[in-house]
Amino acid sequence: GSTGQPKGVMVTHDNLLQNSVLVEQYCQHPDDAHGVIWLPLYHDLGLIGGILQPLYAGYASTIMSPAAFLQRPIRWLRAVSQYKATISGAPNFAYDLCVSKISDEQKATLDLSHWEIVANGAEPVRSESMERFAEAFASTGFRRNYFYPCYGLAEATLVASAGHKGVYPLVRSFSGEALEQNQAQKVAPEEKHSRTLVSIGNSLPMQRLLIVDPETFTELPPERVGEIWISGPSVAQGYWQRPEETEQVFQAHLANGEGPFLRTGDLAKWL
């Protein structure tokens, strides 16, 4: 429900277990891993990322209330610093809020050098937000290459794709006019009507991601923009008491009959 009308998603124990395996494969937690989470526990990133993943992978997690962060954003980064957190994340807006609300005096008290999974997800990821945060907190030991954009949705339990640990994500500029026609035409960032997009990583072998033409239901070549379709053990069972929407979203098939897939409705292209 972060970016759409809230609906109840039926997630099984097996879905949770399989996505926990997937998240651990992406994150490659160190032996001294520690997490910090302030997102609400009714949010999939808060519950699964902040509670269930630490339980599955066997590391400690510090839990804050959303209000504590929103009232004083320094509390989040202070917890990351105090507990030497290796993994913590939030929606993109949180990084902008930290830049605007945390003073130089407060920055001087922080050590963010242990932070190696700086997850950014649950809403559109903006390159300018990451750059501003990295510049603003460079003095704390923060490493920009550990920014970790990821893509997920409750319908796929949590994570569907993520980047490479320790590698700054790909950032590319495209013609906004071409994107409106589902074409990806690279342009210079300063060009008029350009749109700068951030890569949300890659899929792993235990699940399959396709870019599909939403009208013909066929796979698209890399230069085309289309819908993200997903299959794998993390895909949930459907929407609670919404059989028609469940069939439309969770039982999608390609034109050749292959399926079923989760039809996310989100647009993307391969980089």
Distance CA 31, CA 114 (A): 13
Chain-wide mean pLDDT for the chain? 94
State the DSSP string of 76-104: HHHHHHHTT-SEEEE-HHHHHHHHHH--H
CATH number at residue 118: 3.40.50.12780
Q: For the segment 165-194, what is each residue's pLDDT rounded down to a tens digit?
A: 999 999 999 998 888 888 888 999 888 888
Q: Is residue 49 within 8 Å of residue 22, measured between CB atoms? A: no
Is 143's pLDDT higher than 60?
Answer: yes
The CA R_g of the chain, rounded to the nearest whole Å, is 19
The band of 141, judged by pLDDT with boundaries at 50, 70 and 90, is very high
pLDDT surpasses 90 at 5: no
With respect to residue 8, please indicate whether it lies within any of the assigned structural domains: no
Q: Does residue 85 lie in a domain region?
A: yes
pLDDT at 3 over 60: no
| pLDDT bracket for residue 135 (50, 70, 90) | very high
Domain region containing 120: 13-268
Confidence of residue 4 (pLDDT cuts 50, 70, 90): low
Is residue 117 included in any domain, yes or no? yes
114-125 mean pLDDT: 95
Residue 200's nearest CA partner among 130, 115, 251 is 130
User: Residue 1 falls within a domain, yes or no?
Assistant: no
User: Residues 204-232: what's their mean pLDDT?
Assistant: 94
Going 158 to 95 to 3 to 242, the CA torsion angle's sign is positive
CA distance 249 to 214: 12
Say what percent of the chain tops pLDDT 70. 99
Which pLDDT band, with edges at 50, 70 and 90, does 222 fall under?
confident
Kindly report, residue by residue over 226-243, the tens digit of the pLDDT.
Answer: 999 999 999 999 999 999
Enter the pTM of the model. Answer: 0.92
| High-pLDDT (> 90) share of the chain, % | 86
Band of pLDDT at residue 1, cut at 50, 70 and 90:
low
Task: Work out how many domains the chain is built from and give that number.
Answer: 1
User: pLDDT for 56-99, tens place per residue?
Assistant: 999 999 999 999 999 999 999 999 999 999 999 999 999 999 99
**Rounded CA gap, 193 and 184, in Å?**
13
Please indicate, yes or no, if residue 187 is contained in any of the structural domains. yes
Task: Give the per-residue pLDDT at 31.
Answer: 96
Neighbours of 104 (CB within 10 A): 8
Q: Is residue 103 part of a domain?
A: yes
Could you read off the pLDDT of 21-66 as tens digits, one per residue?
A: 999 999 999 999 999 999 999 999 999 999 999 999 999 999 999 9
| 6 inside domain | no
